Amino acid sequence: MRLPLSRLFPTLLLAACSYVSPLTSAQLAAMDPLAADPAALAVAVVLPPGLAVGPDGVTLELQAVQGAQVLAGRYPLRETAADPALAVPAGASGHVFVLRPADIAAMRDWQAKAAAWSGQGGGQVSLGMALDACTQGAGAAPGAEGAALIRVQRDGALMPLIGPAPLSALLGPDLIAAIAPCGGPR
């Protein structure tokens, strides 16, 4: 099961709007995804007890649209050392993900192609992230909270993107119920 964390440039995940940091949203809206340094990007997730990162981890998804043309890029992120500044509540787990070295170059190529399109005018670029999650034991407790953070500048701080907020408000009961057990069939 893939859990969308965010769709940025131009919209944010509708269900999470009231839990999105306005300051981070303003900073991301001002960021040009075509000029962002892929080597600087990092995504962090904080998961409550009973919820874990699944085998597909976190994926970065880019899309440029120019008329009927679509240029898509999809990059699985790799987990890296935890950021000591990442606040993780007792019992929860914190995970930080970055682009793989080969995907840094691939994303730069994607940015160059998308920039050539934007020079023609009228295009739109979006950046999204997806989390593959699974349950452990009985799963997350009712009222359990999760969060997503993002870093867009080298040596920059992780900025709160979504939450911390109750998973029930972020995802809804149907999506929470559809999360498969870790190691189980998907």
Q: Do the Cβ atoms of 180 and 134 come closer than 8 Å?
A: yes
Q: Is a pLDDT exceeding 80 seen at residue 55?
A: yes
Average pLDDT, the chain: 79
Instruction: Supply the pLDDT for residue 155.
Output: 84
pLDDT at 164 over 90: no
Read off the pLDDT band of 5 (50, 70, 90): very low
* Digit-coded pLDDT (tens) for 142-152: 889 998 888 88
113's tokens: 């192609």
Return the closest-CA partner of residue 138 out of 50, 58, 77.
50
Helix (H/G/I), strand (E/B), else coil: 42: strand
- The predicted-structure confidence for 14-47, as pLDDT tens digits, reads as follows 334 444 455 555 555 555 667 788 999 999 999 9
